Structure 1
Amino acid sequence: MLDLADELNRWAEEGRDFAVATVVSVGGSAPRGPGAALAVDRRGTVIGSVSGGCVEGAVYDLCVQALQDGATVLERFGYSDEDAFAVGLTCGGIIEVLVTPVRADMPDGKVFATALSAAARGETVAVARVARGPAALLGRALLVHADGTHAGGLDGSHAGGARAGDGDLLPALDRTALAEARGMLEAGRTGAVEISEDGSRCPGGATLFVETRVPPPRMIVFGAVDFAAALVRAGRFLGYHVTVCDARPVFATRPRFPEADEVVVDWPHRYLRSTGTDGRTVLCVLTHDAKFDIPLLETALRLPVAFVGAMGSRRTHQDRDRRLREVGLTDGELARLRSPIGLDLGARTPEETALSIAAEIVAARRGGTGVPLTGSGTPIHHDVDVDVDVDVDVARAEAAA
């Protein structure tokens, strides 16, 4: 649902009733992950997608039915060899879709409307729903804000507005949902949690699906060079909030990087020490100049960020590695550095180089190998976000640097 928050908030403000189908679990080679959503209003208008086209028609019908009868349903779609014309995923995966009507006259209508409004404003929020369990609880929602306030309730007995510290006043199921939602909100994750009937976190009883909407992860590009302009565009395409930083004011200008969210004139290491980063942050060092690189990477490789990569030839990398060891970085810290940055695509132009860098960032996040899928036998889709070391050789356009 929060996947479509901007458009659904507009629908809610216009007083439209609609139904939302949300992917709550995935198995095998499914095209879209948990949180992907499709919505249908009473006019028949459709937005979003749950499968890239495989089962959209059937999900549309489920949404129309939910609008008519007001019932939340959980539907499973998979591949069937027995019936070639069955509605399913031709890719061989399995998805479970929770279809929820959102109407002003329903108990959770206000909770959903509040959640969509907050998400559309860019606030950090989570919505926990019962995806599997007693019929009376199916689809019930609990909204959790970043400051711990919450609204709604999964058992229908709590009106909301309390803070997380008031957990003893909540029913057991709501206490568990609140704790799980806050944990996933802090991690920026969306997914399912198995809980028992008494609300404890253990398999069996019910399945709680938690959607989160958090600010986009950061990509900080150090070095206001031509390659940076192309990388800014790639980063924005991947959903990052992109900052360009360079100590040289003549190069770090808004006209040169109009698509960047921020352009900062500062020494890279000083800016990195003062700005906010987290476990999703990506740092791309494109300066390949020791006076910038060494103090910057000394700081970067000691931060708990998702990715640190640096541009330069293999000779530049060897010199950089030696200098970083001289300033005290350990083998473990240096192992986090992806240098030369990017996957081996034979890139030449700034755009091709940006694509190779973006590809390595995605591979690192999703646990990909970077090898061609043709003949590889490796999974097409990976289940979780991981950060793995990918042993790749990279040809850089500026190999003579």
Structure 2
Amino acid sequence: MYLTDRSAPVQAGTDRRRRRGPAPKVAPVVLALGAVSLITDVSSEMVTAVLPLYLVTTLGFSPLGFGTLDGVYNGVSALVQLTGGHLADRVRGHKLLAGLGYGLSALCKPLLLFAGSLGTFGTVLALDRTGKGLRTAPRDAMISLSTPAGNEGRAFGVHRAMDTTGAMLGPLAAFLILRAAADGYDAVFGVSACVAALGVVVLVLFVPGGQQGTGRRQGPHVEEAGLTYEPEGTGAADARDGKPPVNVREVLALLRLPRLRALAGCAALLGLTTVSDAFVYLLLQRRAGVGEEWFTLLPLGTAVVFLLLAVPVGALADRVGRRTVFLTGHVGLLSAYALLLWAPHAPLLAPVVLALHGTFYAATDGVLPAALAGLVPEHLRASGLAIVGTSQALARFCCSLAFGAAWTAWGDGPALAGSAVGLLCCAAVAGVVLRPTGGTR
């Protein structure tokens, strides 16, 4: 009876798809959001590239002080992601929430010109990361909802590749500005503010509004948890138009999904031992003897590798399984830690570590949200992404604080050794917890 009732709509949908031709593997909204992320990342990475050296050498912050700021930079967005994801689902305003997030971050960039103490820097960075927290889940939800089933890894790979192009251009721009301008750091912060404003303009003009869905059925874990969702155009979907689309109880019900709990738990566990990018570059600068004038180019190495691998690794994850690729990325990060610890004077230390660092991001940054596509109903997609993203970001916040304190107390070597041992243990646990079950990959 179930199949008989559904056969006509399915046939009609199939006929429509045949007339239109096959759906593109990468939707136009993904490319538009990729352009926004590219521009915004030019702005963000200009600041990120100079901030560690500026705070530690120019303002004289200790590793603990810098670790606190770095923790704020990574942790505040985690506290806001749940709010951003829930509001985007509740008002069906993914573009609206993403725009507010991008706009808030753009407004914070010129405030860096007036920050000269730990407190003021912490406040400005907290506001900037609040913007990131608001925009991340709605943006990723738009990517997921506009992508055909089975191609999520490729779509997120394309977006992350465009995003990483900005991450590659940002440090290069900062390097050139520092060499050309008398007040180099102020010039970097000022130009960054202008570029961030351009990103907001592109979002408003070129990213379509509304909440797009693929209309695909959800996986067995979703149905078991009682979170089924009818595609747009059915009676169930139409009935929801007169009600608030999402309430807090529905969001909390997502925690009954076993695979979502496993992903969130493992993302947090691995995040506890993932040393932040800024610390990796500081370690590399000290152990490889990189001159301060070249420091801003270190993120460029990570970005180039990420850019080259994001799309092929995302497509590979669609084929061989996202768990395998995700865990392999952490093995690459562990290898980078080992080289920093035991081969500090190797002639090729810097390029090899940066290559492994970029590979880690290519294998994890887009693969994790892609893994959620078949687990979370479409009307709760932003909330589900926010739950996993929040767990990971909060864990990295704790890692930054702990790593900065350990560096201050015992030195960079013991701090990194502890992180390496912890990452090895956490990756082993995640490999067991995320083992494939019931057709998941």
Q: TM-score range by the shorter chain?
A: under 0.3
- Higher CA-based Rg: 1
TM-score by length of 2: 0.21
The structure with the largest helix share of the pair is 2
Instruction: Say which structure is richer in strand.
Output: 1
TM-score normalized by the length of structure 1: 0.22
Whose RCO is larger (CA < 8 A, sep 6+)? 2
